[in-house]
Structure 1
C-alpha cells in the first residue's frame, strides 16, 4: 500500500481473513482513532470491510504457522 508500510501480513487463524500489521504513531492520536481511519481507508480504497473486533488494542492476536506470511525485511534475521 502506498500510505501504510506493511510490517506483517498473514492469513488469519480461521482462514477466513487476513491480519495486516502496520506501524502507527500514537503520540498524537489514539489507537482507536487510527483503527477507525485505517478501516475507513481500506473500505473506500479496496472495498473491504474490516472486522471491528480488531480495534481492541488488548485483544490477543495469534500468529499462526503460515508459509505465505509476508514479513518486512527489517524484521528478518540476517
Structure 2
C-alpha cells in the first residue's frame, strides 16, 4: 500500500515522505539488516525517505524481511 501511494504521488509530482520499518539489529548501519535499495540504511539514513529516493529503490515494496533477515516477497 505504501508503495502505491508513493508511486501515485511521484506520478502527480506531489512531494511525499514515507517512514519505513525494518528490523534493526545493530542500529549503527554495520550489519546491513535494514538496507534498502543501493545502500540506504533505514537505521542511520532514515527511517523517513522522500518519494524520489524511494522510487530509485528497486526493492521498495517488493519484499520485507523477517526476524532472521530472510526475504519475504509480496505477491500482488
TM-score (norm: length of structure 2):
0.25
Flag the structure with higher strand content.
Answer: 2
Give the structure, 1 or 2, with the largest relative contact order (CA under 8 Å, sep 6 or more): 1
TM-score (norm: length of structure 1):
0.25
Flag the structure with higher helix content.
Answer: 1
